[in-house]
Amino acid sequence: MYAWKSQTTWNRYRERASAIFKYAEKHRLIPYGSNPFLVGRVREFVEFEQEVPSRRIPPSKQRELFAACDAVWGDSKRFPHQAEIMRDRLQVLFGTSIRTGEMLAIQREHCSIVTEEGVETPKLFAVKGGARVMVRVCVPPQATKGGKRTGKGFTRYVVAAGAVEVFRRKMKQFERRPKAFLFGTDKGAQVASFKKAAIELFERVGLKFGRGRGEYRIHDARHETISALSQSPDFNDAQVKKFTGIKADRTLARYRHLENMDVAVMAANVLDDRSAAQEAETVLAPFIQKGWSIEQRAKFVKAARAMAEATGKPLAEAAAIVLAELDQSNGTKRRRRG
């Protein structure tokens, strides 16, 4: 039996073969019931345990890859710009989840700074650590491999600090050359791939390059970014798909590789927060007024816990402070109405 690299690979080929047989049955080219690729008939081929590679490149290895760019090409006289070019490519791949082919198709005319509506002033977005501009990348269908087949281009927003810095620098470098490729050569010429350079980098940091078990490739940067977003409690699946351009849940599941320990830590945080909230509600029961709605009760519990954490006082004392402030605020509102 062929050793499939992943179960999704087998399922994808099975579905395509099954569709051909279904078409033949529908048009009476073959007798009904002749489809050998129905799920029930091929179950014995897919129900076996497989070791699917995780496709995760952790931040520690990412830093090693960035450092390896200088180690490999920093003193190169033949390729003096290669270290910066490869570092910029990696920064964008890990910071945007964009595909390699899509990145290499980006030209200067496809990129723009997101501006305030109706004006040319760059819009500043509030993020952790301050405010930041964002870059919009709109690549037309004819410039992408998939677009020639589907008729669809792609739009991506570059938001990570490192990736935004790379795009702004590249956009400034090729300001007067709208047809220049940002991630091609140092002169703006297009390149088909950089697999050879990627292999050299990966081997430098101890990652075996390839598609099999225990092997890695440059496309795994997309797997890593999507997995990191999926593990964040601030992102749901719909938001991950919107940011990465993924359409189907099945595709998202193929890209997402959740580590057991990371999921366990997330579960522990959620369950601990729930237990803490239940204990807080028990302690705060004497302070909760009967006429309050469920939303008001939840806000009071949250405010009391925040007060206790900020002041270091017991939860009951913090609740008394919050309740006093609430009564004072309500009294002020009544006097204004009167």
Give per-residue pLDDT as tens, 158-177: 999 999 999 999 999 999 99
State the chain's mean pLDDT as an integer: 83
Q: 32 or 98, which is more confident?
A: 98
Q: How far is residue 63 from each of residues 76, 86, 208, 295, 331, measured CA to CA in Å?
A: 21, 13, 17, 45, 57
Q: Residue 33: which residues within 8 A CB-CB, separation 6 or more?
A: 25
Could you tell me the strand order of the sheet in which 135-139 lies?
111-113, 135-139, 154-158
Binning pLDDT at 50, 70 and 90, where does residue 248 land? confident
Ramachandran category for residue 306: left, alpha or beta (phi over 0 → left; psi -120 to 50 → alpha): alpha
8 A C-beta contact, residue 160 and residue 189: no
pLDDT at 27 over 50: yes
- The one-letter code for the residue type at 317 is E
8 A C-beta contact, residue 135 and residue 167: yes
Q: Mean pLDDT across the stretch 249-272? A: 73
Q: 185 or 276, which is more confident?
A: 185
Q: Mean pLDDT across the stretch 90-118? A: 92
**Which residue is it, tokens 């997402």?**
256
pTM for the full predicted model: 0.67
Q: Mean pLDDT across the stretch 57-69? A: 92
pLDDT at 18 over 60: yes
Report the range of poorest mean pLDDT among 10-14, 208-212, 279-283.
10-14
Structure tokens at 19: 């569709």
8 A C-beta contact, residue 54 and residue 231: no
Report the range of poorest mean pLDDT among 31-45, 101-115, 165-179, 270-284.
31-45
DSSP structural state of residue 158: E
pLDDT at 1 over 50: no
pLDDT at 52 over 90: no
* Span 120-135, pLDDT tens digits: 899 999 888 788 999 9
Measure the CA–CA gap between 228 and 209, rounded to whole angstroms.
22
Report the range of poorest mean pLDDT among 11-25, 40-54, 82-96, 215-229.
40-54
8 A C-beta contact, residue 152 and residue 102: no
**How many CB atoms neighbour CB 71 within 10 A?**
13
Closest alpha carbon to 231 in 273, 271, 267: 267
8 A C-beta contact, residue 65 and residue 88: no
Cα angle 308, 312, 318; round to 5? 35
Measure the CA–CA gap between 124 and 115, rounded to whole angstroms.
8
Measure the CA–CA gap between 194 and 218, rounded to whole angstroms.
9
End-to-end CA distance of the chain: 85
Cα angle 105, 111, 114; round to 5? 150
